[in-house]
Structure 1
Amino acid sequence: MSAAYPWLVADIGGTNARFGTVAGPGAAVVDVRVLPVAGHADPAAAVRAYLTDRPAGQTQPQSAAFALATALHGDRIELTNGAWGFSRAATQAELGLSTLLCLNDFEAQALSLPRLKPHQLRAWGEAPPATEAVAAGTVMAVIGPGTGLGVGGVVRAPGRWLALPGEGGHATLAPADDFESAVLSHARREFPHVSAERFLSGIGLPVLCRSVAAALGEGEDISGLPTEQIVARGLSGESPACARTLDVFCAMLGGFAGSVALTLGSRGGVFIGGGIVPRLGERFFQSQFRARFEAKGRFQSYLEGIPTALITDTLAALSGAALALEQAEA
């Protein structure tokens, strides 16, 4: 039997933790609030802060699902790019929860895909199929450049959706031309392994920008620029290195997305989440993303038939956490 509502759901990244509640089966996530990870000692402290600010008289949640930006194994959880480390058992006891489900953040992001509505997406060309039109066995994939780089998948099974969690963001990144080879060569002077996350993420954009500037060889000083300024200067055209960085970012993201599509066989679509790409606006849709997505030699025609779309709703993973809890409690 399902646990009593309301449920608490959370999407916890390296920078921000998003919280919301679910009032009943299939209900929308409401009372959403975003809290900074650095502003709280641990998830329990952040949950208490969130619950304190809810309207008086509301029932306290007895079940919760935490989507976490890290690999999960055992009781101890450490965020990959964040300060929180905690015991799931101790956190459950401290918060008085009957159920605490912990899942990878891109497991939750993948589970959000079946519940996405057209207003939460912007398709690149043909729109992905509606959920009701997705046949059993169909795979969909999601890639999210945020603080880090998340990758996940979901497959439709009879009566439920099965998430395919993983750590694909740490797969080795491949160049597609001589300039990208030069960029990667410069990055390898800092890092022995250049993963996709080293370039295609919030923590990675400064690395990518330094490497692009070095490969351009024009002497532009971009040292110390944070991701926000790289994006702003690149969009405005103020900095040639930052502008080229955004172009390389979009192109390499497309190539990486195509590799994920081939690996998972995600004929149901590849979705781009995370907080970085929505900031790029039209720059993303005018970029080489889709061309590079399809540029896989003999399998170009295979990829031409796979839709791609940007998730414009940055809170979508909360609905995926809710679905995970719903299926676990069924």
Structure 2
Amino acid sequence: MTPEKGVSAAGYPSLVADVGGTNARFGWLAHAGAAVADVQVLPVREHGSPLSAVQAYLALQQARLASAYQAPRRLAFALATSVGGDRLELTNAHWSFSRSELQQQLGLSSLLVLNDFEALALSLPRLSAAQLRQWGGVGGLPGGQGALAVIGPGTGLGVAGVLPSRHGWMALPGEGGHMTLSPADAFESELLAHVRTEFAHVSAERLLSGIGLPVLHQAVCVVSGVAGAPVLTAEQIVERGLSGADSVCERSLASFCALLGGFAGNVALALGSRGGVYIGGGIVPRLGEFFFASQFRERFEAKGRFRVYLQDIPVALITDTLAALSGAALALEQQDGDVL
């Protein structure tokens, strides 16, 4: 595929990246309109800074492209943190850096910094049916009309939206994962009451994330009267819960799905995302059929007088873990005015 007639190649090649608390995903844009290519996933913990991770990826690109290699002119950096100001710190990882210094160190003409869920939200209009699994609602995805929302339990919990406008798709980034989590029944009220003995504020991320699942599991143990339960990692809870051999882990996953459903319904109401609610992040895809047999959809719709409103909204699980890279690519194109 070659650049479209009339589209400047001045900003290419470009680099796109999606950085969470665990992994940094990098991709290459050879020219305007190109699909994201040469994707590599690098563990954040193995690099002391974003500069180190970018340089490691570029070394791989130089080896891959040989004499055809050109240094990238721009970078769209999607980060799991709030992105205001020059100084940036990942919420759930050790990277702390200056965006202006990083741009200078890499010799870039521009460095576009986005919240990671801002990038994932921008990917939604471009997702294909092969990248999704729909659950309920009226109408098929992709291609939903109006506002779209995305929620992603990964290392943390991301929330964002995207709106169509005459200038293209406009992302609505935020920190919705830190909104206060609410219970829907007596058992959940007991869970949250226990967690509040340790944390003054129980946000959605406090329980509905990789860092939160162990907290949720310990609360389930206490409320269920299970004494002396070991502290498990999120990976262990998922593995034991899905195996059916550990009833407390299984109940923890069931509570996770139910609470996530109620939270997702709140987000849908807040954003008016009648075009669809998408579930991203790394945890839910690992749950497989357990998720689709859970109370998620029931709790998503259980909003009293607005049940019918929510029944019409489709939910879709994003099965492609690299989707945010295409959102970062769209951000670069819209920055240039290539997509209007």
Considering the TM-score relative to the shorter chain, is it more than 0.5? yes
Partner Cα distance (1:226, 1:49) in 2: 29
Can you give the 5+ residue segments of structure 2 that lack an aligned partner in the other structure? 1-7
Partner Cα distance (2:302, 2:33) in 1: 39
Can you give the 5+ residue segments of structure 1 that lack an aligned partner in the other structure? none
Q: Which amino acid aligns with 2:100?
A: A
Q: Write out aligned runs for 1:79-228 (5 A).
A: 79-126=90-137, 128-131=140-143, 134=145, 138-219=146-227, 221-223=229-231, 225-228=232-235
1:74 aligns with 2:85: yes
Conservation of the 8 A alpha-carbon contact between 1:187 and 1:211: yes
Conservation of the 8 A alpha-carbon contact between 1:9 and 1:321: yes
1:46 aligns with 2:53: yes
TM-score relative to the length of structure 1: 0.96
Counterpart residue number, 1:12: 19
Q: Which amino acid aligns with 1:109?
A: L
Q: Which amino acid aligns with 1:146?
A: G
- Shift of residue 4, structure 1, vs aligned partner: 2.8
Partner Cα distance (1:99, 1:120) in 2: 30
Give CA deviations for 1:150-176 in whole Å, capped at 9, x if unaligned. 000000001400000000000000000
SS at match of 1:185: helix
- Shift of residue 14, structure 1, vs aligned partner: 0.9
Give percent identity, aligned residues only.
64
Counterpart residue number, 1:290: 297
Q: Which amino acid aligns with 2:151?
A: I
- Shift of residue 218, structure 1, vs aligned partner: 2.8
Instruction: Name the count of aligned residue pairs.
Output: 325
Partner Cα distance (2:33, 2:310) in 1: 33
Conservation of the 8 A alpha-carbon contact between 1:146 and 1:201: yes
1:258 aligns with 2:296: no
C-alpha root-mean-square deviation of aligned residues, in Å? 1.2
Conservation of the 8 A alpha-carbon contact between 1:128 and 1:269: no
- Shift of residue 72, structure 1, vs aligned partner: 1.3
Q: Which amino acid aligns with 1:67?
A: A
- Shift of residue 2, structure 1, vs aligned partner: 6.1
SS at match of 2:163: strand
SS at match of 2:41: strand
Q: Which amino acid aligns with 1:277?
A: V
Counterpart residue number, 1:60: 71
Counterpart residue number, 2:280: 273
Conservation of the 8 A alpha-carbon contact between 2:87 and 2:99: yes
Q: Which amino acid aligns with 1:249?
A: F
Q: Write out aligned runs for 1:302-321 (5 A).
A: 302-321=309-328
TM-score relative to the length of structure 2: 0.93
- Range with bigger deviation, 18-27 or 244-253: 18-27
